Amino acid sequence: MSVQYDFQNVIDNQGISIAITGMLIVFVALCLISLFISILPRIVSALNNRFPEPAEAATVSSSTDPAIVAAIGLALHRRSQATGGRRT
Amino acid sequence: MSVLSSFLGTTGFATMTLGHLVMIIIGIVFITLAIARHYEPLLLLPIGFGVIVGNIPHIESMALGVYDVGSVLSYIYFGVSQGIFPPLIFLGIGAMTDFSTMLSNPKLVLLGGAAQIGIFLTLIGALYIGFTPEEAAAIGIIGGADGPTAIFLSSKLAPHLLGAIAIAAYSYMALVPVIQPPVMMLLTTQKERRIRMKEPRAIGKRERIIFPIAAFLIAALIAPGSIALLGMLFFGNLMKESGVTERLAESARNALIDIVTILLGFSVGASTQADTFLTPQSLLIFGLGAVSFAVATAGGVLFAKLMNLFLKEKINPLVGAAGVSAVPDSARVVQMVGQQEDPQNYLLMHAMAPNVAGVIGSAISAGILWSVLVK
């Protein structure tokens, strides 16, 4: 590979089309996932009406107290600093 | 005497080149950063030691290196070169990921898509410099800030660049707290950084069980190239959320991911042999990788600002920066930058939503690029 700084290489290899199409497809996929998540509570509600969920498994509430959220964040941060944390 | 002389000619001292020495020093630097500075220790330590192992010179007739047919290292590297390790890591990530924050605020998913612009703009940049389309795509994926995805795509499209791309991807992930804040500060006002967001709603068990199945179907049917990565990610998550396979989920998120991380890090490090790694091409890859990260961050932040033009309940645009995958580093950076402006503003939970959406987005991007460029 030799450095050449030539926009013709972008055009010849359909770089712009790949980029635009790629972004578009990623957005379509994530929009569909987002839409699905939006209607998921209604789907679950309909399911629950027909097949009631066992009481102990009903919901797991998110932390509503900001202080608890902060404490969790701090604990995660410290543990990550100590161990290197989870990365992708 | 001739035996001794012959043996001495085979030692590493006799065949050591300046390149080998430089790479061994790089390996020691990685190990030092991991131990002394806690920079990505789980990855930099195995990679660093792998770099040292891979750069001990040996005579060609001995099958020792990762590229030598039949060597022990080549069998370990097989998991990298054939793209086996990244999906296994995704299985572990899925088994430890909680999608609840994303399920409670679905519009934040879009931020995980916006940040993928780093991948595609870098692809254009790499083509402009003269890389082939396959190489450009593999380099661009560094902007996804997702090590396993970068390794997976490079192994499929540009295996000869795998070492440089993997090292660049993981190095920049360690530098997320350095690269992201300046971009975030530059693109947001103080008022925007102080925006507080609504608390996430409670998520039911059934929602958390249905989501991985449905999300996989949507993503995989659109981009089948992402099946290996997303299939394992959502399978791992289903094991976790189902509540009936806790033992399997526990193994996936602990023992399995640890074993694979060791093998992947070590063999990627060992693949960075001086003659193939110390090239101007590697420097270009590092440069493009840094640009890719910065562009991805900017893409997420700017898209959050764009969304705010249409939303009644505003999003703190800092949260957009977490759209680059880098779980959970970029979410923590968002929390840190947000709290510099308002110590009572807790953005971590909100930032986790685009963060995990970014993992999905970068895997879909990899699937698309693989589908388009595979020969």
Cβ-Cβ contacts under 8 Å for B29 (sequence gap 6 or more): B48
Backbone angles phi, psi at A82, to 5 degrees: -75, -35
pLDDT for B159-218, tens place per residue? 999 888 988 888 888 788 889 999 999 999 999 999 999 888 889 999 999 999 999 999
Q: What pTM did the predictor assign? A: 0.88
SS3 state at B38: coil
Average pLDDT over residues A29-38: 96
SS3 state at B278: coil
Size of interface A-B (CB pairs under 8 A): 213
Question: Which one-letter DSSP state was computed for residue B7?
Answer: H
Where residue A64 falls among pLDDT bands split at 50, 70, 90? Answer: low
49-78 of B, contacting A, C-beta below 8 A: none
Where residue A77 falls among pLDDT bands split at 50, 70, 90? Answer: low
Tell me how close the Cα of A61 comes to any Cα of chain B, in angstroms: 4
Tell me how close the Cα of B219 comes to any Cα of chain A, in angstroms: 6
pLDDT for B280-330, tens place per residue? 888 899 999 888 889 999 999 999 999 999 999 999 999 999 998 888 889
Q: Does B117 touch chain A (CB under 8 A)?
A: yes
Residue B169 pLDDT: 87
First to last CA, chain A: 29
Whether the pLDDT of residue B158 is over 90: the answer is: yes
Task: Identify the residue with better confidence: A20 or A75.
Answer: A20
Whether the pLDDT of residue A1 is over 80: the answer is: no
Contact criterion met (CB below 8 Å) for B320 and B304 = yes
Whether the pLDDT of residue A70 is over 80: the answer is: no
Burial B55-92 (b: 16+ CB within 10 A, else e): bbbeeeeeebbbbeeebebbebbebbbebbbbbbbbbb
pLDDT for B230-259, tens place per residue? 999 999 999 999 999 999 999 999 999 999
Return mean pLDDT, chain B: 92
Backbone angles phi, psi at B284, to 5 degrees: -60, -40
- Which DSSP string corresponds to B304-355? HHHHHTT-SSPPPGGGGGGGS--TTHHHHHHHHHHHHH-TT---HHHHHHHH
Average pLDDT over residues B134-148: 91
Residue A55 pLDDT: 65
Where residue A52 falls among pLDDT bands split at 50, 70, 90? Answer: confident
Return mean pLDDT, chain A: 79
Report residue B107 as tokens: 């519009």
Q: Does B121 touch chain A (CB under 8 A)?
A: yes
Where residue B135 falls among pLDDT bands split at 50, 70, 90? Answer: very high
- Sign, Cα dihedral of B317, B146, B25, B266: positive
Cβ-Cβ contacts under 8 Å for B161 (sequence gap 6 or more): B135, B138, B139, B154, B281, B285
SS3 state at B274: helix
Report residue A44 as tokens: 């679950």
Whether the pLDDT of residue B21 is over 70: the answer is: yes
d(CA B354, CA B325): 8
Whether the pLDDT of residue A65 is over 70: the answer is: no
Contact criterion met (CB below 8 Å) for B138 and B165 = yes
SS3 state at B204: strand
Contacts of A73 in chain B (CB under 8 A): 332, 335, 346, 348-349
Q: Does A43 touch chain B (CB under 8 A)?
A: yes
Residue A69 pLDDT: 65
Per 3-state DSSP, chain A is made up of helix, strand and coil in percentages (nearest 5) of: 70, 0, 25
Residue A5 pLDDT: 80
Residue A67 pLDDT: 65
pLDDT for B33-82, tens place per residue? 999 988 878 888 999 999 999 999 988 788 898 989 999 999 999 999 99
